[in-house]
Structure 1
Amino acid sequence: MFLVVYLLFGLVFVNGVNTKSIQNETVDESKFVTFDMLNNWKRNMTDYITHMVEQNSIKETKKVFFHAKMSATDTTYNKNSIVKFGTLLFNEGNHFNPGDSVFVSPISGVYLFSWTTQTYSGKSVNTELRVDNIIKETLHADLGSAAGRLSVTRVVILKIDSNDHVWIQTSDVFSENFFEYAYNTQSSFTGVLLFSI
């Protein structure tokens, strides 16, 4: 990179110096390289390099994707409980906390969120996707006594601001929300940044 800068400087300097002035000819002062010109050039190059570094940092920040599952056991949650997805499979950018199962958006953008709940005959699961404690979408599974097991999924696309907190929690409908684990299948929560705004 610095080699390119020195070469450019050399070309500007060589082309800018008028050697004909030694021969008593009229000097074209527009071809002289002044210290102000060099300082402006240096400032422009510094601004350009800084901009490129910042753009690269933004691109790195934009890699946002998580996918987490519940533990490999049957679990029952009370009303208004944050659902814990403690088995982390992917967490690009490290913006999902498996400890409290809350995602914190690093930048404003349009995000896709999806969550799946699995329950069994005679059981119910009512969940909500919340952004800073505001309900954005709901997902309900209320099974009859002979329904067997069922997985249901909700996909949501939302505009999210920087530092918004996103999580899944049970609604205030049922005091026993039963999440079943069976055949290596469990409830999950996924989020991905589609594009920044």
Structure 2
Amino acid sequence: MATLFLVPAFGFFILNFSPEKHVFAQPNENWDDGPNWNLAIKKIKELENLVKIQDERISVLEKRPTLSEFRSTVELQETVQRQNDRIVKLETRISELEVMVTDTKAEAIHIEPSEEVPNFGLKIFTPEKNFIRKERILLQPTTVPAESVAFFAYFSTHNVAASPQQILAFDKVITNIGNSYHPHSGTFIAPRSGVYVFIWIIRLGRTNYHTTELLHDNNVINSIYLDPQNRMDGTVTGTAVVHVNQGEDVLIRTGAHSNGRIDSDTNGRSSFAGWLLM
């Protein structure tokens, strides 16, 4: 019975199988030449490149500070600035308090009666002890005037000033606060009215001798004279304290009794200086 069933089934399989209806891949068929396969590979590569670019962008974004971190940094900087400003104010206040010192001075006060006092049985109190007196000294801080004026200049080389009434132009300027000294003309022009101090130094040697004068507004204020008499080099210094109005000039010139050169080198400088006193 089983044999009879298998025979018809096998015959049915043979009748329904046809090589025209079923196509099998050949072993040597090349799938890489198919257009759909090439397009798929191309798409895959494009997707891989896109993923790579996205990964790079994500990496860059992860390295950037976030908005909250940036705000925190700005707030921290503002806090530091406020603290620095407060420290400056506190340091200024401390400096003001430091100049206010309490100085304790012990002064021995001994009182003696100036004349004999009769003893009528009264007790006379004569202080014999030392009294401690406390004083509070307020030291005013030294401040620079808002419009300071000062200058200092000297001859860079020896100066031949053979003629009388020759203006001495001290050409090497070291200090010129206020830019009121003019080295080309040797003239100081007061930028503001006030009391000024002027000093000039003249160095001479051998047979040279000179009278030099300080002129204020064409008036001789002070003069000095030096004659080494061919014995040794020497220097002489002149000083003047003058009230000078704004725009008036002050200068140094030779006097009537003058001869030879004025020395100025590393061994000794001939110079001119001045500053606003008050």
Structure-2-length-normalised TM-score: 0.46
Q: Out of 167, 180, 183, which is 1:82 matched to? A: 167
Pick closer, same or farther for the CA change 1:184–1:143 going to 2, 3 Å: closer
- Look up the equivalent residue of 1:75 and give its one-letter code: V
Given candidates 110, 114, 122, the residue that maps to 2:199 is 114
2:253 is the alignment partner of 1:178? no
What is the aligned counterpart of 1:68 among 153, 159, 166?
153
Q: Which residue of 1 aligns with 2:276?
A: 193
**1:182 deviation in Å?**
4.1
Measure, in 2, the Cα distance between the counterparts of 1:88 and 1:82.
16
CA distance in 2, matches of 1:181, 1:108: 32
Aligned-residue offset at 1:131: 0.8
Q: Which runs of 5+ in 2 are unaligned?
A: 1-144
User: Larger Cα Rg: Structure 1 or Structure 2?
Assistant: 2
* 4+ long deviations beyond 6 Å: none
The aligned counterpart of 1:167 is 251
When residues 122 and 73 of structure 1 are mapped into structure 2, their CA distance, relative to the original with a 3 A threshold, is: closer
Determine whether 1:97 maps to 2:200: no
Instruction: Indicate if the aligned counterparts of 1:88 and 1:98 stay in contact, CA closer than 8 A.
Output: yes
Deviations 1:150-184 (A, max 9, x none): 0111111111111110000001222x242013434
Aligned to 2:277, the other structure's residue is in SS state strand
| Distance in structure 1 (CA, Å) of the matches to 2:173 and 2:265 | 18
- Higher RCO structure, 1 or 2 (CA under 8 Å, sep 6+): 1
Answer yes or no: is the 8 Å Cα contact 1:112–1:194 preserved in 2.
yes
* Mapped contact 2:202–2:262 kept (Cα < 8 A): yes
| Separation in 1, partners of 2:251, 2:159 | 20
Conserved 8 A contact 1:72-1:184: no
Aligned partner of 1:154 among 225, 238, 241? 238
Instruction: Return the alpha-carbon distance in structure 2 between the equivalents of residues 120 and 166 of structure 1.
Output: 26
Structure 1 residue 84: Cα displacement: 1.2
Conserved in 1, the CA contact under 8 Å of 2:156 and 2:265? no
Q: 1:137 to 1:177 in 2, by over 3 A?
A: farther
- CA–CA distance in structure 1, aligned partners of residues 162 and 176 of structure 2: 25
Number of paired residues?
134
Q: In the TM superposition, what whole-angstrom CA distance separates every residue of 1:19-47 from its partner, at most 9, and x where no partner exists?
A: xxxxxxxxxxxxxxxxxxxxxxxxxxxxx
Counterpart code for 2:202 = T
Q: Give the distance between the partners of 1:136 and 1:116, measured in 2 at CA.
A: 15
- Counterpart-to-counterpart distance in 1, 2:163 and 2:225: 15
2-structure distance, mates of 1:123, 1:179: 8
Q: Is the 8 A contact 1:130 1:137 kept in 2?
A: yes
Equivalent residue letter for 1:64: V
One-letter amino acid of the structure 1 residue matched with residue 196 of structure 2: Y
Alignment identity in percent? 27
Measure the CA separation in 2 of the matches of 1:192 and 1:64.
6
TM-score using structure 1 length: 0.64
CA distance in 2, matches of 1:151, 1:72: 16
Letter in 2 for 1:188: S
